[in-house]
Copies of this chain bind each other. A is one copy, B any other.
Amino acid sequence: MQNLAFNVLRTHHVEYLVTDLERAQAFYVDGVGFTVTERDADHLYLRGIEDRTHHNLVLRQAAEPGVAHVGFRVSQDSDLDAMQAHLASIGVPTHWAADAEHAIGRALRAQDPFGFSIEFFYEIDQVPWLLQRFDQHQGAEVMRIDHVNYLTPKIQEAFQWYQTHFGFQLSEYTVSVENGRDRIWGAWLHRKQTSHDLAISNGTGPRFHHASFIASSKERILAVADRLAALGYSANMERGPGRHGTTNAFFLYLRDPDGNRLELFTGDYLLVDPDWHPIRWDLEDPQRQTFWGAPAPKRWFDESMVAYDWDGRPLPTSEPALPDRPIVVD
């Protein structure tokens, strides 16, 4: 492990842009089963039943959908100063935000070298824990955020950068085999003791493929599929329920009414011991992406979410050198 002067605890939240906050609330809260912490004119702050902090997903009213930023929590406020110094030392500009994000203390913001808008912070409002308020659980019983999934053509650099500079650890990876040589195609990285906080996949980017939230059980993922169908959201279920080979995830991929993608997820594993040998998957192994064998639909590879810079401008993208998907896609 790296000897770093700061400690990134985990992926903490993500900010999605939606064009109709009312419609988004119907989908995320009444449909999927997020808990509303707070709402103002332009924002809906959502959390899971296992969360003690103010939000794991911010929905912000905007003209176009996409992902505004990802927030990582550190283990103490002074970590932020050490982190600023370190980012300055490697030429990454940062700026401080105070009061820019409701319920959060000072935050250190940056554009990572691949274009993603990232934020680090420690202070955040505490809220009631709902784990045993079973009477308030509904839908997928969203527990907490698990990870976000970046798309970038610079997969090799990106996964090394998060390892080197923030101490992310590799749990699993996918390779594209070219002339008998492994080329990194995807990386599953974690800070907290589960399989991931951050997945990085090869593709046109910077873009976001999805953010992923833990559901309480496989049974509740099936139940939310039934619920969403009954509410008229059949077309919003893009893929699954199914089982990924990678990370053993039992998943359901949803598209919100603006097309933003999210994953409901359960079934990975604890990863506590430091002598973990990362699991290698071949991009062309059919059990990699769907353990049960059914290929992903094309749009799961074709479509992704726009990434914005801190001034709200969509980031220009570039194409990957490696193939952006397995040969067999449905």
Residues of A near any B CB (own CB < 8 A): 9-10, 50, 52-53, 73, 75-76, 126, 131-137, 143-144, 192-194, 217-219, 222-223, 225-231, 234-235, 237, 241, 243, 245, 248, 250, 269-270, 272-277, 286-287, 291-294, 297, 330
Kindly report which residue of chain B lies nearest to residue A122, judged by CB atoms: B275
Q: Is the CB of B134 within 8 A of A226?
A: yes
Interface centre among A218, A223, A231 (most CB of B within 10 A): A223
Contact of A272 among B137, B192, B237 (CB under 8 A): B192
Q: How far is the CA of A272 from the CA of B133 in the complex (A)?
A: 21
Q: Is the CB of A10 within 8 A of B272?
A: yes
Residues of chain B within 8 A (CB-CB) of A241 are 241
* 26 A-B pairs with C-beta separation under 8 A: A9-B273, A9-B274, A10-B272, A10-B273, A50-B270, A52-B273, A73-B273, A76-B274, A131-B248, A132-B230, A132-B245, A134-B223, A136-B230, A192-B193, A193-B193, A193-B270, A218-B219, A222-B222, A225-B243, A225-B292, A226-B292, A229-B243, A234-B286, A234-B291, A234-B292, A297-B330
The 6 closest A-B pairs by CB, nearest first: A234-B293, A134-B226, A134-B230, A193-B193, A135-B230, A134-B227
Give the Cβ gap from A304 to chain B, nearest Cβ, in Å: 20
Q: How far is the CA of A330 from the CA of B222 in the complex (A)?
A: 21
Q: How far is the CA of A272 from the CA of B227 in the complex (A)?
A: 27
Contact of A229 among B136, B192, B270, B293 (CB under 8 A): B293
Residues of chain B within 8 A (CB-CB) of A10 are 272-273
Contact of A217 among B217, B226, B286 (CB under 8 A): B217
| Given A219-B219, A275-B126, also A226-B270 (CB < 8 A) | no
Interface centre among A133, A250, A272, A287 (most CB of B within 10 A): A272
